[in-house]
Amino acid sequence: MPLEQRLFIGLELPASCKADIAELDPGIRGLRWLPSTQIHLTMGFLGNVTRGEEAALAEKLSGVHVPRFFLPLQGVGSFNARGRPSVVWIGTGKGHPHLFALHQHIQSAVLRSGLEPDLKPFHPHVTIARAKDVSAQALQPFLRAHRDDDFGLFEVTEFILYSSVLHTEGATHRAESRFPL
């Protein structure tokens, strides 16, 4: 067992949502569609964490409680790096107060555990593909066609502490701990 792991906190999507997302793959060259096992909504990235730090974190995360809520999955968009698409994502609608409250409670628990919280602005999304050498023009028709798609609602009943192992073909994620709301 390694002395430390690369960890992040996220929400798992129902299998039905993952299946719908898999069907969207437009087959654009250079656009690597993520396998359903990697599709989630990241609530915070922690990086490499020792086993002792992970235990302290799990203890603090077990104290995070917000009411269960329904989260919409709406619209397809992209993030760009150096003027080119880098990530294709599905959004969560026009903002969701319960999701942002959960994010704040999780980041507070991370801080109380002695780890550094993810300080990047929280832009909730579900990464569905990674782009390499794909032009914005090649991706635009797909983005326009799915900009307003509604992928339904799912009930958020828990959040998960995941480990992530990087490989040349992508990362593999494993649920380390589950925290019911």
Residue-wise pLDDT tens digits, 142-156 = 999 999 999 989 999
Confidence of residue 2 (pLDDT cuts 50, 70, 90): low
Strand 40-50 relative to strand 84-91: parallel, antiparallel, unpaired?
A: unpaired
Question: Count of alpha carbons within 13 Å of 33, Cβ hemisphere only?
Answer: 14
pLDDT at 53 over 90: yes
Confidence of residue 63 (pLDDT cuts 50, 70, 90): very high
Write down the pTM of the prediction. 0.92
- Distance (Å) of CA 24 to CA 33, 140, 178: 9, 14, 29
Domain boundaries, the chain: 4-180
pLDDT value for 67: 96
pLDDT at 170 over 80: no
Reported CATH class of domain 4-180: alpha beta
Distance CA 110, CA 125 (A): 20
pLDDT value for 82: 81
25-28 long-range contacts (CB < 8 A, ≥24 apart) are 25/129, 26/142, 28/134, 28/138, 28/139, 28/142
